[in-house]
């Protein structure tokens, strides 16, 4: 067993015994029923190796992690023009805050807060039908994960549509400011479905590997995005990927990462590979409680921090 | 001439011909008289090499760059207790905003906005006289720069004291919230003097090298701070070092850096060395216009981004 | 001709010659086509006299003035329980601001900002169909105006529905905070239709008279609401009736009044009667430019200010 | 005994038995030692009659009530030019909030929040010595109260100077925005002393009578200010006089009034007279708990609301 395998194994065991496992989100009914005892981890190295621990094959709703993939897609399609519609700065606010939108005239601070991701979903939608755009996103994620099994959970998509009032508020506010080209419910149709994509840690770690390898999938050698853009997505993940807990995460873990309220976190180790962790209990910032701890432990033991 | 020397030389020449050189800050009279034609750069590698270009030996007021050194000092003296008084998150606001302080009960978002640095100056002051603490800060900077010539410009210190109304407002607000142990004017006495320290690019690049080398000065081998803390200071510089332009800077340059309104920027290249640039014209976020461009160019050509 | 008639006549003539007539609101297409040359005024005294000037018989969209009537209705139906869902304080923000809602957990500051009126529309809706509630509101306004001709302009109602993104954002935000019992589009169905009621100055002045007469219509002697509640509605009109221009209006005019973006203002003179003015050009706070000036002139010449 | 005398007597007795007497302010040490059992009331009618109840002759610190008098003085000296430095709108925030100042570039929302009153103190100071201006304010208040005994409590003035960090923050912020002509500590010297003036209910009710009588003292017949300005000060008292509890107070009491954290409230009854109440326990908005209740009772029983 390699050192990495031993470390991953240790961490998975350690997480089993953690007392404080965070809280399930109560505002998306389909997620509120999660099992707090679960923890999974997968490390996909650029040499093709995949090391796993715990519930690494259990599928979960990727939620906001999908924003990394839609940002990648939109940069490929529209280039830097996308930055006219969303900013690049940390928001200093909760993930679903509408205050910043009002103060800054409908330009979301970054593509990883909900408002920013809705604006990107709207850009991807262009003049297509929501169903087509959802298909395109799913196709893209299957490609980068190299796995045709990845799918959308329709129960979760419906659950979010039925209860996503804050997201409806954000989308309508964007529309009021002229930062939405389609009807709010169409852009949200795309957004709710991208959030409802389910993946397991192995699939997710593989899907994130292009970001650690200059934009090229290290196994299929498929070029996904330019190396400059891969770098820049990593930068945004580091500064904005954990909502208003991004500073603390950079401080503790020191790696680009994006969390989702489904309890998953996708983390990029430049030049090395990608890591996915999952445990459904969230900390007070809305990021996976055990996932954050596990990544801190892994980064420390492997000396993977980008900060030296 | 090495590749690095050629790159630095190119950049210095290129900066000479830039048309848009930014604007001088008008609210500190002593800085408003700066010379927009100036540009300096120094790269101090961990092997001891120093490569320079332009006005690399002209001294300038380091201003907020001093916050990196006082944070280091305070972590050495008080350890993680300092985080009870300042946060670790990007502020999403301008460097001298008081709004965030009110909403968050007097805990500054991070140690690099003015309010955070004043709280740290107050912590360093403890029960000493301001003069002693100022001496201690200067002594520390001389040590990490390995240069006893570094000094404070008394004209600038007086100028800031006379016109620093927003800083007086911030310090008094901290006091009102119980986050200041000393009288506001005493904490500000320390703060205004640390900002008025003058250094040139060579001195500053040398002084920053411990952050790229696990907390140990790579030339004198003096241990300055633990490697974990050096990493964490780098993380804070990346997420918060350029005020509300930190996201854009991470996106473009991809390196930890701290700017000052004197026009300097100290930038850390983990495992490689430190870079100091200086040009007094500022961009709209209050960071050196040419300095930011030069660092982007340097990081791109040297492939120094931490993000791959 | 009485003094009042002379004054009203003078004011109407004076308003004809005003150069700065304000601006038409551009965000409701059906209102953007208004005729800036129009100005109407009607004073309905409690003795039954009605004095008019200018275009006092031209119908206009009452818009937010309807909030006075829905507040009256809801107080009659639900009593003080309504104050659990909306506050009584001036908002200090624009009429359609969503910031305050986020900071105060979905309780609108007062019933006269849009969010507050949407919450009241939702309360009136209870478990009825929107059509029934709209009918009830219309019936109430016809009763207080003693005029069965008053109707809803369907073109304006549709126009607001199609473009009212900020109101959709507000309603969804209320829903997200648990301060909406019905689906957002149902509450908004009521709200958009109440805003699209059209009245002329004579009808409106008559309709407001119960507020100047202890809650009893002075002509029909029909009791509309208790005198304590009539007083309290007047107080809210004075402190909150002109959005973030309420202080200035109280300062200049000194009377309770409610404005609408259709260019109307309903003004109450306690113990004396009610005044309606209309001119479609708005000042920078969103209140009728000429209407505000006319009321200041009228209150000053008649010594009607409640402040002495 | 007249009806009014009986009512005042009843209210004073009723207040003696109130259980919930509010809380003493803890941030001004000299006020924190107040006696919660106290309650005083005085009604000074324009015919010269004064009706009293409870501790109407006990002196207390008038605190923010002084802002009514300095506003009157400044309008007399500078006319409407004063409105370039302070606004006329309710703030929607706490009395010592600094947030609004930052968002509105250093123009306080109205003259009754602390920042506004500091700007007015600075205007009154002009180029005089603080001592002279304090003398002038005291002289004015003695004149309107027709009582040469009124004085400043030096212990309270010192206590506020020593602990008034938020006020120092506000004054420095005003200075930073160019809305202070004198050094912050000089403007605050005036402000802290005006707040430390002590008066009893009888003196205060007499002093406020000019506002109910068109700007002319009804007893001495001395003209204090024009009737238009008296009306406008009343309007500001109604919309802004109880900080972020102004709407609720207008709703319940329906009269212009200004409160102070010393537990006093000065209330104006247009055409009738002025009322002063005092009890040191404050409600959650910082206004006298019993004072507010007593005024509501008095206004209701005497039918004094300006709203009909």
Whole-number Å distance between alpha carbons of C39 and C288? 10
Inter-chain contact A247–B240, Cβ cutoff 8 Å? yes
Beta bridge partners of A278: A40, A264
B180 to chain D: nearest residue by CA? Answer: D165
Write the CB contacts of D132 (distance below 8 Å, at least 6 apart in sequence).
none
Nearest by CB: D247 against C89, C211, C307: C89
Contacts of D232 in chain C (CB under 8 A): 251-252, 254, 307
Decide the pairing of beta strands D257-259 and B60-61.
Answer: unpaired
- C-alpha D83 chain-centroid distance: 19
Radius of gyration of chain A (CA): 18
User: What band does A296 get if pLDDT is binned at 50, 70 and 90?
Assistant: very high
- C-alpha D274 chain-centroid distance: 13
Mean pLDDT (whole number) for C262-288:
97
Number of H helices, E strands in chain C: 13, 8
User: What band does D130 get if pLDDT is binned at 50, 70 and 90?
Assistant: very high
| CA–CA min distance D258, chain C (Å) | 14
Residue-wise pLDDT tens digits, A75-130: 999 999 999 999 999 987 776 788 888 888 899 999 999 999 999 999 999 989 99
Nearest by CB: C166 against A99, A103, A176: A176
Contacts of C166 in chain A (CB under 8 A): 172-173, 176
The reported pTM is 0.95
Residue of B91, B96, B102 to mutate, interface with D, max D Cβ within 10 Å: B102
Q: Which chains reach chain D with 3 or more Cβ–Cβ distances below 8 angstroms? A: B, C
Write the CB contacts of C196 (distance below 8 Å, at least 6 apart in sequence).
C61, C152, C153, C154, C156, C157, C160
Residue of C95, C98, C179, C244 to mutate, interface with A, max A Cβ within 10 Å: C98
Contact B199, B138 (CB under 8 A): no
Q: How much of chain D exceeds pLDDT 90, in percent?
A: 89
Compute CA distances B149 → B138, B143, B209, D188, whole Å.
Answer: 10, 11, 18, 42
Degrees to nearest 5, angle at CA A272 with A268 and A275: 40
Residue-wise pLDDT tens for chain B (308 aa)?
Answer: 689 999 999 999 999 999 999 999 987 788 888 999 999 999 999 999 999 999 999 999 999 999 999 999 999 999 999 999 999 999 877 777 888 888 888 999 999 999 999 999 999 999 899 999 999 999 999 999 999 999 999 999 999 888 899 999 999 999 999 999 999 999 999 999 999 999 999 999 999 999 999 999 999 999 999 999 999 999 999 999 998 899 999 999 999 999 999 999 999 999 999 999 999 999 999 999 999 999 999 999 999 999 99
Residue of A235, A246, A283 to mutate, interface with B, max B Cβ within 10 Å: A235
Q: What are phi and psi of C197, to 5 degrees?
A: -65, 135
Compute CA distances A174 → A98, A162, A167, A182, D303, whole Å.
Answer: 10, 20, 10, 11, 49
The pLDDT of residue A97 is 80
B61, burial (CB in 10 Å: exposed 0-12, middle 13-18, buried 19+)? buried
The pLDDT of residue D203 is 98
Q: Which tokens sit at D23?
A: 């809380």
Inter-chain contact A99–C97, Cβ cutoff 8 Å? no
Degrees to nearest 5, angle at CA C235 with C233 and C240: 95
Inter-chain contact D99–B102, Cβ cutoff 8 Å? yes
Whole-number Å distance between alpha carbons of D25 and C256? 34
| CA–CA min distance B171, chain D (Å) | 7
From B241-250, D203-212, D263-272, the region with the lowest mean pLDDT:
B241-250
D164 to chain B: nearest residue by CA? Answer: B176
Whole-number Å distance between alpha carbons of D252 and C306? 16
CA distance from start to end of chain D: 26
Write the CB contacts of A303 (distance below 8 Å, at least 6 apart in sequence).
none
Inter-chain contact D307–C90, Cβ cutoff 8 Å? no
Q: How much of chain C exceeds pLDDT 90, in percent?
A: 89
Residue of B90, B241, B308 to mutate, interface with A, max A Cβ within 10 Å: B308
Inter-chain contact A227–B308, Cβ cutoff 8 Å? yes
B300 to chain A: nearest residue by CA? Answer: A228
* Catalytic positions of B: 64, 67, 191, 243, 261
The closest of A276, A281, A289 to A52, measured between CA atoms, is: A276
Q: Is the pLDDT of residue A195 over 90?
A: yes
Degrees to nearest 5, angle at CA A66 with A63 and A69: 175
The pLDDT of residue C1 is 63
Nearest by CB: C176 against A101, A166, A173: A166
From A301-305, B115-119, C9-13, D103-107, the region with the lowest mean pLDDT:
D103-107
Radius of gyration of chain C (CA): 18
Compute CA distances B246 → A103, A240, A288, B113, B186, whole Å.
Answer: 19, 11, 25, 12, 30
Taking 3-state DSSP, the helix, strand and coil percentages for chain A, each rounded to the nearest 5, stand at 50, 10, 35
| Cβ atoms < 10 Å from Cβ of D185 | 14
The pLDDT of residue A100 is 85
Q: Residue D197: in which H helix or E strand, if any? A: strand D197-199
Mean pLDDT (whole number) for C240-248:
93
Instruction: Provide the b/e sequence for C92-120 (b: ≥16 CB within 10 Å).
Output: bbbbbbbbbbbeeebbbbbbbbbbbbbbb
Compute CA distances C222 → C145, C203, D279, whole Å.
Answer: 11, 17, 42
B175 to chain D: nearest residue by CA? Answer: D165
Which of C56, C191, C258, C272 is flagged as catalytic? C191
Q: Which tokens sit at C58?
A: 């031209």
| CA–CA min distance A95, chain C (Å) | 13
Inter-chain contact D235–C307, Cβ cutoff 8 Å? yes
Residue-wise pLDDT tens digits, A233-257: 999 999 999 988 999 999 999 999 9
C272 to chain D: nearest residue by CA? Answer: D308
Contacts of C102 in chain A (CB under 8 A): 97-99
Q: Is the pLDDT of residue D303 over 90?
A: yes
Contact C19, C37 (CB under 8 A): no
Nearest by CB: B173 against D103, D166, D176: D166
A252 to chain B: nearest residue by CA? Answer: B232
**Hey, CA dihedral for B234, B240, B245, B247, is it positive or negative?**
positive
Q: Residue D259: in which H helix or E strand, if any? A: strand D257-259
Inter-chain contact D239–C246, Cβ cutoff 8 Å? yes
Nearest by CB: D308 against C109, C248, C271: C271
Inter-chain contact C250–D271, Cβ cutoff 8 Å? no
Write the CB contacts of A10 (distance below 8 Å, at least 6 apart in sequence).
none
Residue-wise pLDDT tens digits, C58-98: 999 999 999 999 999 999 999 999 999 999 999 877 777 88
Beta bridge partners of B42: B52, B276
Nearest by CB: A248 against B88, B231, B306: B88
Strand order in the sheet with B264-269: B50-54, B40-45, B273-278, B264-269, B257-259
Is C259 noted as a catalytic residue in this protein?
no
The closest of C67, C3, C95, C65 to C276, measured between CA atoms, is: C65
Contacts of A270 in chain B (CB under 8 A): 306-308
HSE-CB at D301 with a 13 A cutoff on CA atoms is 15
Strand order in the sheet with C151-152: C60-61, C197-199, C151-152
Looking at chain B, how many residues does it have? 308
Contacts of C99 in chain A (CB under 8 A): 98-99, 102-103
Write the CB contacts of D88 (distance below 8 Å, at least 6 apart in sequence).
C247, C248, C251, D110, D236, D239, D240
Residue-wise pLDDT tens digits, D7-52: 999 999 999 999 999 999 987 788 888 999 999 999 999 999 999 9
Contacts of A232 in chain B (CB under 8 A): 251-252, 254, 307
Contact A153, A29 (CB under 8 A): no
3-state SS class at A191: helix
| Cβ atoms < 10 Å from Cβ of D137 | 21
3-state SS class at A45: strand
Nearest by CB: C256 against D89, D214, D307: D307
The pLDDT of residue D104 is 85
The pLDDT of residue D41 is 98
Looking at chain C, how many residues does it have? 308
Inter-chain contact A172–C175, Cβ cutoff 8 Å? no
C100 to chain A: nearest residue by CA? Answer: A99
The pLDDT of residue A37 is 97
Compute CA distances B177 → B121, D188, D192, whole Å.
Answer: 16, 19, 20
The conformation of residue D212, written as its DSSP 8-state character, comes to: G
Q: Is the pLDDT of residue C193 over 70?
A: yes
Q: Which residue has the tokens 């009610």?
A: C274
Inter-chain contact B102–D103, Cβ cutoff 8 Å? no
List residues of D whose CB lies inside 8 A of any B CB: 97-99, 101-103, 165-166, 168-170, 172-173, 175-176, 184
The pLDDT of residue D1 is 63
């Amino acid at each position: 067993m390699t050192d990495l395998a031993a470390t991953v194994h240790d961490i998975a065991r350690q997480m089993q015994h953690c007392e404080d496992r965070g809280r399930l989100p109560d505002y998306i009914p389909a997620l509120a029923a999660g099992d707090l005892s679960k923890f999974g981890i997968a490390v996909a190295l650029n040499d093709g190796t995949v090391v796993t621990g715990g519930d690494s094959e259990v599928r979960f709703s990727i939620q906001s992690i999908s924003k990394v993939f839609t940002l990648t897609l939109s940069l490929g399609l529209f280039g830097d023009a996308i930055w006219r519609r969303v900013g690049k700065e940390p928001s200093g606010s909760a993930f679903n805050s509408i205050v910043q939108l009002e103060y800054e005239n409908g330009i979301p601070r970054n593509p990883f807060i909900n408002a920013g991701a809705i604006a990107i979903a709207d850009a991807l939608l262009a003049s297509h039908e929501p169903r087509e755009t959802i298909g395109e996103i799913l196709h893209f994620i299957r490609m980068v994960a190299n796995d045709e099994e990845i799918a959308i959970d329709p129960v979760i998509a419906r659950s979010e549509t039925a209860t996503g009032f804050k997201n409806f508020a954000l989308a309508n506010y964007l529309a009021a400011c002229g930062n939405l080209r389609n009807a709010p419910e169409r852009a949200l149709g795309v957004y709710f479905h991208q959030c409802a994509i389910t993946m397991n840690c192995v699939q997710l770690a593989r899907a994130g590997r292009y970001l650690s390898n200059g934009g090229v999938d290290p196994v299929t050698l498929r070029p996904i995005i330019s190396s400059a853009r891969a770098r820049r997505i990593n930068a945004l993940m580091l500064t904005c990927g954990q909502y208003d807990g991004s500073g603390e995460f950079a401080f503790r873990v020191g790696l680009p990462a994006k969390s989702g309220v489904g309890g998953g976190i996708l983390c990029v180790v430049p030049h090395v590979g990608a890591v996915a962790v999952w445990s459904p209990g969230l900390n007070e910032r809305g990021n996976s409680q055990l996932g954050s701890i596990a990544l801190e432990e892994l980064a420390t033991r492997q000396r993977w921090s980008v900060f030296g």
